[in-house]
Amino acid sequence: MEATTRESAFLIEKLIDAGLDPLRREGIHTDAAARRVLSYSLRLLGSRFALPDVRDESLALQSLRRKVMQQGHNHQLPRLDDLQLRLVMAGTPPETRSALFTLLTSLPSQRDAEATSLPQLPPIQSSSLHFAPSRQQPGSKQASAVLRKDPKDQAASLREAAMRQDSRAAADARSAGNFGEVSLVREVLCACQAFDGEHVRYKGAAMKGLGGFEIAAAAGIPPVQRSLMLKLCELGWLFRKTQCHAKEEVMSDGGSAIRKAFQAALQHELNSLYQLMAQLDALAGHPLPAGEDTGAPYLTLRRLAVWIGEPLQRLRTLAALADAVVDLAGAQLISALDAFTMHGEPGASGTVERCLRQACMPLLEMIRCWLFEGRLTSSPGDFFITASPHSKTKPGSLWRTGYLLEEGMRPPFVSAAMADKLLRGGKTLIFLRECCGDAEFEQSLARTPMAAAASQLSYGQTDQLERLVEKTAARIDRHVVSTLLDKYSIVSHCSAIKRYLLLSQGDFVAALMEGLGGELTRSSREISEYGLAGYLDAAIRASSAQYDNPDVHNRLRIRLEHGAGSETGWDVFSLRYSVDEPLATVLTDAGAAQIQAVARLLWALKRAEHSLSAAWLLLNTTQRTLSRLTAKAKRAHLPCTGTGAVLGVLKNLQGLRNEMAHLCTNLQAYLMFEVLERAWTQFTAQIAAAPDLDSLIGAHGEYVDALMAGALLCEEHEEVQHELTQLLASLLTLLPQLRRLQFLVEGAHVEIDTRMRNMVDRTRAKEWAITELDAPLRGIDEDEVFEVGKGLVSVTRDYETHLRTFVDLLPTQTPMDLNFLLFRLDKVIPTRMLAGDGEQNRELERSAEKRNGRTALF
């Protein structure tokens, strides 16, 4: 660094030497001047001279060309281009080239310097040098040092600048007979390209933060031209403003792609304006015609006003656009731009459309990536579909919560329906890729003509876009549905759930009951899932379930939900069917829980049925034992007490069991045939016709909801459900009473059997079969029978109360679906009121007879 500076200083010294050499040869004493220039130069170069922001070669060349044109050497331009090309060929680095061009542009030409003998105008007040004092750094040689040139020097340089301008103005005035028209035109053209001219300058923050162009009062321009110039400078003002918008934030990365595209569009429009300006610049080089109009091209302020009329309109539109979208990004920006296309003027709406077309390109690309590749490529805040955090382990969360539609971000040319299709399409692709492991479909999709068409879409082709989205989404949907139906055979899994969990496969359920029935009556603490798994396997092997897919068997397992510990196996037992992705997206956890609730109800019914079947068996046995007992007693002429009472209670038991079994059968029939099968039929019909994954999920949801509603498990039916649970519990209380009775009868039977055997033995021994020493037969304790009868009455009362409440609750809460069930249950409801305690036995007998007669009808 130090070396470079020293070398530069040396070179400067040489330069000064070379510059002053001719004078020295003439014998003029130059040492003092050389020292002065050297110290000034070193101070200047040591300071932080304001560097232009962009040191682009093409810009530097452009200004060089402009300078050549200003000098009126238009014919030299090709030669200049040629020289530049040769310089490139000579291997000069671009930075050096641009620096050289800048240097050459800034150097005064000999002609300017020599034109001193021209009329003088008052010198302009401000310095033509631009320094950037704000960049001062402590310790370094500072720019202000440059400004501290001795006043004589400054005045001289100002004088020189003023002379130079005036000379040109005067020359123009001479040629046109008009006050500096050509130079004024140049000034305006400079201002229009956001450069400061000699007189026309941009004053930032002139009023309330808004900058504006000012014409130096000292320039002495007549008021008419002055106001015309100011008017023309509007273009420069708009240009500056638009350029600010086009440049801002371009540096910061990670911004909105759509915003960047819009800024690029603005820049593009500005560039086309640059072209026009260059042409106008060239035109401004022509001299004004001296006399009458010869048709030769030339430019005056008024002609310029006509020239820039159209670009002015365009820039006004652009500036308005840029202002309208200043804080917007993404689709909101596009919406804001879209609003401007309603402009009635074709030129303005054309400009807006051009910008919009550019701005939409990233968005259309995002749409393409999303729909055809299932990728979100947008920077945040650009796209109307966003990814939200979702856990990969939780089944179905990708589909349900993984990607969301942001309504506010939807661009105007995407309708709500189309946005939905887009969301589903892309989501389905991701679902296929991540949950089904199917990446091939994506590749095949990329080969379709749709994908090719999508990459060529542009703004305004809304219809094409719509058709494209429609077709592609339909194709994706078809594929995912067929994948789930065929590859993952979702229907067979649903059917397995129905057959095993919802107990619709009779032989399997019967086999399972047979095995499990005994186990489940034990306490829940004594049984284990592993212990019961054997029964499940046995049931599968014993029934036609064995022909099912082994995959289905593997998914089926027993679950015991241990609670407080006082339950029996029946209370904690349930069957489960485990599913994973992608099935879990359709067969959701919530759905599984609902199905579990239905299964629990069916299971409770099954348990009641099981208990009632056992009761039937016991009843028959007891009846037979009793008749045998009576017959034996008669044959042996033995007294047998209590048989009549037992018979009465048995009859009542029989009647009640029949009623209960009737209820049980009807409830089961209702649940199986009216609820489950109907929902299943609807479900299979829907699933076969499902157009997309959402409707597949919807169909399953409806199926489960229909089950829940039919089984009265919805929240609004809580009361009915409660009553039903109690009713089913009351069905289980019959068996214990029967057991007590059977115990009595069996006891009496054993007693009489023993006695008869004794009698036979004695007879064989030639003794009296009956002696007075024999203890009287205990027979059946009538008190006990009476107790059982009383228990039975309470069971009956319990059952009937619950049944009545249940039936009463039904019609008020459910629609017509339940009418058939109600009709059948109505027959079960006893017409009589519950009898008082005193008459209960006879009453029971009579009602039992009545009921027996009636139940025989069914």
Residues 6+ apart with CB under 8 A from 796: 652, 656, 844
Q: Which is nearer to other proteins, 111 or 148 (CB)?
A: 111
Nearest to other proteins of 47, 351 (CB atom) = 47
Q: Would you count residue 76 as binding other proteins (CB under 8 A)?
A: yes
State the angle between helix axes of 677-689 and 693-710 in degrees (0 to 180), rounded to the nearest 10: 170
**CB of 218: closest distance to other proteins in angstroms?**
22
67 contributes a contact to other proteins by CB under 8 A: yes
**CA distance linking residue 831 with residue 806, whole number of Å:** 16
Structure tokens at 802: 């619950």
Residue 651 token pair: 């009859």
d(CA 212, CA 230) in angstroms, rounded, equals 9
Distance of closest approach, residue 73 Cβ to other proteins, in angstroms:
7
Q: Which of 58, 71, 125, 544 binds other proteins (CB under 8 A)?
A: 71
Contacts of residue 714, defined as CB under 8 A and 6 or more positions apart, other chains included, come to: 708
User: Does 613 contact other proteins by CB under 8 A?
Assistant: no
> Does residue number 51 form part of the binding site for other proteins (CB under 8 A)?
yes
Q: Which is nearer to other proteins, 31 or 826 (CB)?
A: 31
Nearer to other proteins, 106 or 444 (CB): 106
**Which is nearest to 734 in space by CA: 604, 858, 613, 601?**
613
Segment interacting with other proteins (CB under 8 A) among 62-70, 205-213, 678-686, 710-718 = 62-70
Chain-centre distance for alpha carbon 352? 31
Our CB check for other proteins shows the closer of 33 and 276 to be: 33
Q: Of 11, 446, 593, 760, which one interacts with other proteins (CB under 8 A)?
A: 11
DSSP secondary structure letters along 767-785 = S-SS-TTSPPP--S-HHHH
Q: Provide the minimum distance between the beta carbon of 273 and other proteins in the complex, in angstroms, as a whole number.
A: 26
Residue 99 vs 474, nearer CB to other proteins = 99
The nearest distance, CB 81 to other proteins, in angstroms, is: 11
* Residue 234 contacts residue 248 (beta carbons within 8 Å): no
The residue (of 20 and 276) whose beta carbon lies closer to other proteins is 20
Q: Kindly give the residue spans of alpha helices, DSSP state H, lying in 213-308.
A: 223-247, 257-284, 301-307
Q: Distance from first CA to last CA of the chain, Å, rounded?
A: 113
Can you list the positions of beta strands (E) in 56-199?
Answer: none
Output helix, strand, coil percentages for the chain, rounded to the nearest 5.
70, 5, 25
Candidates 70-78, 328-336, 541-549, 736-744; binding stretch for other proteins (CB under 8 A): 70-78
Tell me the two tokens of residue 345: 């003027």
244 binds other proteins (CB under 8 A): no
Residue nearer to other proteins on the CB measure, 74 or 349: 74
Query: Which segment (43-51, 531-539, 680-688, 815-823) binds other proteins by CB under 8 A?
Result: 43-51
Tell me how many residues contact other proteins (CB under 8 A).
58
**DSSP structure string for 463-520:** HHHHHHHHHHHHHHHHHHHHIIIIIS-HHHHHHHIIIIIT---HHHHHHHHHHHHHHH
| Least distance in angstroms from the C-beta of 175 to other proteins | 19
Which residues are CB-neighbours of 175 under 8 A, at least 6 positions away? 182, 287, 288, 290
Distance of CA 40 to the CA centre of its chain: 67
Q: In this chain, which stretch among 71-79, 206-214, 357-365, 507-515 interacts with other proteins, using CB under 8 A?
A: 71-79
Out of 15, 217, 404, 617, the residue judged to bind other proteins by CB under 8 A: 15
Quick one: 100 or 822, whose CB is closer to other proteins? 100
Q: Which of 56, 58, 79, 227 binds other proteins (CB under 8 A)?
A: 79
Tell which one of 73, 390, 475, 824 touches other proteins (CB under 8 A): 73
Q: How far is the CB of 61 from other proteins (least distance, A)?
A: 11
Measured from the CB atom, the residue of 23 and 339 that comes closer to other proteins is 23
Question: For other proteins, what does the binding mask look like between residues 87 and 126, x meaning CB under 8 A?
Answer: x--xxx---x--xx-xxx-xxxxxx-x-------------
Q: Long-range contacts: 798-805, Cβ < 8 Å, 24+?
A: 798/730, 798/733, 799/656, 799/659, 799/660, 799/727, 799/730, 799/731, 799/733, 800/829, 800/830, 800/834, 802/723, 802/726, 802/727, 802/730, 803/663, 803/727, 803/828, 803/829, 804/829, 805/723
Q: Does 593 bind other proteins (CB under 8 A)?
A: no
Scanning 64-72, 511-519, 589-597, 730-738 for contacts with other proteins by CB under 8 A, the matching segment is 64-72
Query: For other proteins, which is the closer residue by CB, 116 or 271?
Result: 116
Dmax over CA atoms of the chain, in Å, equals 183
Task: Specify the residue, 57 or 581, whose C-beta has the smaller distance to other proteins.
Answer: 57
761 binds other proteins (CB under 8 A): no
- Closer residue to other proteins (CB): 35 or 525: 35
Helix (H, G, I), strand (E, B) or coil at 195: coil
Q: Quick check: 63 binds other proteins (CB under 8 A)?
A: no
Nearest to 70 by CA among 275, 229, 235, 287: 287
Q: Which is nearer to other proteins, 92 or 528 (CB)?
A: 92
Q: Which range touches other proteins (CB under 8 A), out of 19-27, 567-575, 682-690, 775-783?
A: 19-27
**Alpha carbon distance 174, 802 (integer Å):** 120
Residue of 2, 26, 327, 772 that binds other proteins (CB under 8 A): 26
Q: Does 846 bind other proteins (CB under 8 A)?
A: no
Binding mask 146-185 for other proteins (x = CB under 8 A): ----------xx--x-------------------------
Omega of the bond leading into 151 within 30 degrees of 0 (cis)? no
Tokens 């072209």, residue located: 275
Residue 54 binds other proteins (CB under 8 A): no
Q: How far apart are CA 330 and CA 379, in angstroms?
A: 9
Shortest gap between Cβ of 131 and other proteins (angstroms)?
A: 10
Under rule CB under 8 A, residue 44 binds other proteins: yes
Interstrand relation of 385-387 and 210-215 (parallel, antiparallel or unpaired): unpaired
Which residue ranges make up the site for other proteins (CB under 8 A)? 4, 7-8, 11-12, 14-16, 18-20, 23, 26, 28, 30, 33, 36-37, 40-41, 44-45, 47, 49-52, 64, 67-68, 71, 73, 76, 79-80, 83, 86-87, 90-92, 96, 99-100, 102-104, 106-111, 113, 129, 156-157, 160
